[in-house]
Structure 1
Amino acid sequence: MADTTASASARSEEVRARRLQWRMLIGFAAGLIAGLAVHYGAADAGWVDAVTAYVTGPIGQIFLRLLFMLVIPLLVSALIVGVAEMGEMRALKSVGVRTLVYTVCVSAVAVAISLLLVNLLQPGAGVDPALARTLIAQGADGAKAITSQAGEAKTGMDALVAIIPSNFIGAMSQNDVLAVMFFALFFGIGLMIVQTPQTATLKSAIEGVFEVAMTLIGIVIQLAPVAIFCFMFNLAAEFGWDLMVRLSAYVGVVLLALGLQMFVVFPIVLRLLARKSPLAFFRETQEAFVMAFATSSSNATLPTALRVAHDGLRLPDRVARFVLTLGATANQNGTAMFEGVTVIFLAQFFGVDLTMQQQVMVMLVCILGGIGTAGVPAGSLPVIALILASIGVPPEGIGLVLGVDRFLDMCRTTLNVVGDLVAATVVSAGVGDAEGAEPAA
């Protein structure tokens, strides 16, 4: 009887998830069509600015703020419980090492693909100088804000030391995700080592925080179709297709690089390392990548990715929670690829010839940048400004690509989230093999 009830509940959850996916897709398509219609039919109408400023803009921001409000409690509780459920240091070491090796290797492949394409196709050599001056002037204010933010960012040893928070509450209030994750990882290890009735009660309480956060986020996610409509409406109403066409060479190289990683590298990795059908994987994870595309945030998509890993991919919770919470900040293939293409594109545009050694250094910095970049919209732009300054390219040149960054941010975030789920699938399969269990089907 219990099995029948559980099966019925699982089917009901699957039906609800499928309905939400369709509603999100409908919201996406409707927002895009409505936005394009406004851009080409009533771009100068006063009511358009009023709608985006007082209706669609605030609705989208409220949705994101609700998610961000709950993400830190979710991330902390998921990582603490995920580490504690490893049971022993040997299991944590196994999962941690697999995750680290996978992240570095796949990120290296991603950036190598990006640099190869941008050097072969040379998108920066064909930009019209007059158009470039116009775009840079239009993006001057945004570029100034980004470069000043890049100047405040910690680098080198300071950045490494800053990962360890002096005040956990302060790190949460400043949204310092790496520092928060370090505390959660450290606390989870302590919870795993100390096996007493009191720590068992504490672990149960933290699991309760995770369950409450997931439930509340599940309620917020029901607003996703409306929020996605608003995001797409604002994007299409403001830019249409014009800017995409004017920077088509740059946009095309970025999309080609992301596409090769998504539809060539990931399927090979899934088939060889996880013995998982790529078609089945993409079918089971579609809700996560629709959410990633709409929100442009790995952190905001984390709750959906966790649910997809549990309900769709059927991955072990202890592995999925560990890999996905770390991956939301550390395993960002799309961000690393975008940074590599953008840096070389701007170097080409400004006539800065980079040696192979410099390009290799750019590749290494992009890999590290992908690990340390905040999983929020436009989180990679300050990192790009830092890299540009280090190789002699004017950081203000980032204004050239600001107009298309929102769309490219949506695309690279989708790759980031899919990459996290691929990583969780591969690591789960490896752990299952090591423990004598069957890998995920």
Structure 2
Amino acid sequence: MTASAPATKFKLALHWQIAIAIALAIIIGAAVNPDSQLLGVKLLDAFSFIGTLFLNALKMLIVPLVMASIISGMAGIGGDNLERLGGKTLLFYACSSLVAILIGLTVVNIVQPGGGDTQALAATITPDDPALSSTLEKVEGRSAADVVDVFIRMIPTNVVAAAAEGQMLGMIFFSLLYGFFLARSDSEHAEVQLNFWQGLMDIMTSMTMWVMKFAPIGVFGLVAKTVTSTGFAAFEPMLKFFLAALAALLIHAFVALPLILRFIGRVSPKRHYQAMAPAMLTAFSTASSSATLPLTMECVQDKSGVSKRTSGFVLPLGATVNMDGTALYECVAAMFIAQVYGLDLSFGQQFTVVMVALLTSIGVAGIPAASLVAISVILGAIGLPLEGIGLLLVTDRILDMVRTSVNVFSDSCAAVVIARTEGEETLIGLDKTGKANAV
């Protein structure tokens, strides 16, 4: 009598679990309203509770994970190679952000989302709207000079306080210095230090994998809360702008970045998308590059095959300063507001928009309502009233989710491309014939 073969246990991939959770959240969120209750509990409060728990769990991992990854990565790189790796990283980030802005500028000039019945659109701005008033309080008084603050935030007076306040740039700078001098240290305790940070990195990775088991539930709460709160009816007057911004973001994510992956990084874009799907979906639901960072690092290391040495340096830096989606959105939004007010921008003015968008996407990333602050700086540079930001508030949350996914994907592309230029094989590389490596 022959024994029957054991039944194979079916397990749905994490990105499919998250995708299903997002779909269910959209359906349920659209079916209920902010006042809907179940067993005496407001559904909106329940969604918020679930989403906040998951988001807090991800944020809890950020500080130890970033410090451990950068310090151990820097120690592995060594001081002699830092200049080369840092130069490549900054060059990639600058170029990819510039490409994103130019795509946004092209789309907004072709589609003209602010053209047509501009009076009807301008009439939707209500100066006494509490949401607009609150936003204007955050952005008034900002100027291009605020970009200089990025250098002040880079060197914190108290690194513990900077970490507690979520000022990633200061913590990253401290970690880079710590790792640099650890790599050059001749102390007998240097190896103990290195083992500690590498061990902490391994533990944080395991904790990230555990937290991500609850990702579908957390993502459901975050997306359901957003859909329930915003609805879809208010989108109609802004639909043309929404679709133009969305199209520009998708062109960058699914045309420009894959071309960079294939022809510069010599990797398979399709397999990189598959590797990054959980991180991109989580970025979409959380609208936070920093909160998604633990999962981004896991996907890039375990599924795309980038070394901890490279990803530990490139990704935390990217989550702080590389904002392709944000830069693109700033450009499209500023041009849209100019069109609504009937201002035909000259080439010189459009060039100003491009340059300010490029600088502010880096410089104001650590400020609350960062994209709106950056847009206010651009509006001031081309002489438009700040009240135009009121047009963006209806669609801002959904587009924020999309542009965060683009930001995260761009960071991951940087890690893979730089890894390949450093001679790493990765799991998604292409050989000379264009054939993908066997996994």
TM-score, normalising length from structure 1?
Answer: 0.87
Q: CA deviation at 1:151?
A: 4.3
Whether 2:115 is the aligned partner of 1:120: answer no
Whether 2:60 is the aligned partner of 1:69: answer yes
1:382-397 aligned within 5 A: 382-397=373-388
Q: Is the 8 A contact 1:146 1:385 kept in 2?
A: no
Q: Is the 8 A contact 2:101 2:327 kept in 1?
A: yes
Q: Is the 8 A contact 1:297 1:377 kept in 2?
A: no
Q: Is the 8 A contact 1:80 1:187 kept in 2?
A: yes
Q: Deviations over 1:224-270 (max 9, x none)?
A: 11111112212222333323332111111111111111111111111
SS where residue 77 of structure 2 aligns? coil
Which residues of structure 2 form unaligned runs of 5+?
Answer: 1-8, 431-435
Whether 2:232 is the aligned partner of 1:241: answer yes
Q: Which residue of the other structure, out of 409, 418, 421, is the alignment partner of 1:418?
A: 409
Match of 1:31 in 2: 25
Q: CA deviation at 1:24?
A: 1.4
SS where residue 304 of structure 2 aligns? coil
Q: Which residue of the other structure, out of 252, 271, 290, is the alignment partner of 1:299?
A: 290
Q: Which residue of the other structure, out of 138, 147, 153, is the alignment partner of 2:136?
A: 147
Equivalents in 2 of 1:265, 1:343: separation in Å? 22
**One-letter code aligned to 2:93:** T
Match of 2:72 in 1: 81
Whether 2:129 is the aligned partner of 1:129: answer no
**One-letter code aligned to 2:110:** L
Equivalents in 2 of 1:103, 1:118: separation in Å? 23
Match of 2:89 in 1: 99
SS where residue 61 of structure 1 aligns? helix
1:398-417 aligned within 5 A: 398-417=389-408
Distance 1:50 1:79, change over 3 A: same
SS where residue 354 of structure 1 aligns? coil
Q: Is the 8 A contact 1:386 1:395 kept in 2?
A: no
Equivalents in 1 of 2:40, 2:364: separation in Å? 32
Equivalents in 2 of 1:134, 1:49: separation in Å? 36
Q: CA deviation at 1:46?
A: 6.3
Match of 1:430 in 2: 421
Match of 2:363 in 1: 372
Where has structure 1 moved over 6 Å in runs of 4 or more? 46-49
Q: Is the 8 A contact 1:165 1:171 kept in 2?
A: yes
Distance 1:47 1:116, change over 3 A: same
SS where residue 280 of structure 1 aligns? helix
Q: CA deviation at 1:136?
A: 4.1
Q: Is the 8 A contact 2:167 2:366 kept in 1?
A: no
Distance 1:48 1:425, change over 3 A: farther
Distance 1:49 1:94, change over 3 A: farther
Match of 1:280 in 2: 271
Whether 2:348 is the aligned partner of 1:381: answer no
Equivalents in 1 of 2:395, 2:148: separation in Å? 33
Q: CA deviation at 1:378?
A: 4.8
CA RMSD, aligned part only?
A: 2.7
Q: Deviations over 1:134-169 (max 9, x none)?
A: 35458x333333333234767143442332112212
**One-letter code aligned to 2:17:** R
SS where residue 393 of structure 1 aligns? coil
Q: What is the aligned-residue identity percentage?
A: 34
Equivalents in 1 of 2:376, 2:207: separation in Å? 37
Equivalents in 1 of 2:281, 2:220: separation in Å? 12
Q: Is the 8 A contact 1:352 1:392 kept in 2?
A: no
Equivalents in 2 of 1:184, 1:371: separation in Å? 19
**One-letter code aligned to 2:60:** M
Q: Is the 8 A contact 1:377 1:409 kept in 2?
A: no
Distance 1:142 1:50, change over 3 A: farther
Q: CA deviation at 1:48?
A: 11
Match of 1:310 in 2: 301
Q: Is the 8 A contact 2:147 2:363 kept in 1?
A: no
Q: Is the 8 A contact 1:262 1:415 kept in 2?
A: yes
Equivalents in 2 of 1:127, 1:196: separation in Å? 71
Q: Is the 8 A contact 2:324 2:406 kept in 1?
A: yes
Q: Deviations over 1:174-232 (max 9, x none)?
A: 22111221111122211122143312211222223323333333322222111111122
Q: Is the 8 A contact 1:178 1:372 kept in 2?
A: no
Equivalents in 1 of 2:47, 2:407: separation in Å? 26
**One-letter code aligned to 1:103:** Y
Q: Is the 8 A contact 2:73 2:313 kept in 1?
A: yes
Total equivalences in the alignment: 419
Equivalents in 2 of 1:421, 1:282: separation in Å? 10
Q: Deviations over 1:65-97 (max 9, x none)?
A: 22212212211221121111103x232122111
Equivalents in 1 of 2:127, 2:311: separation in Å? 45
Q: Is the 8 A contact 2:74 2:309 kept in 1?
A: yes
Q: Which has the larger displacement, 145-154 or 281-290?
A: 145-154
Q: CA deviation at 1:131?
A: 4.9
Distance 1:339 1:101, change over 3 A: same
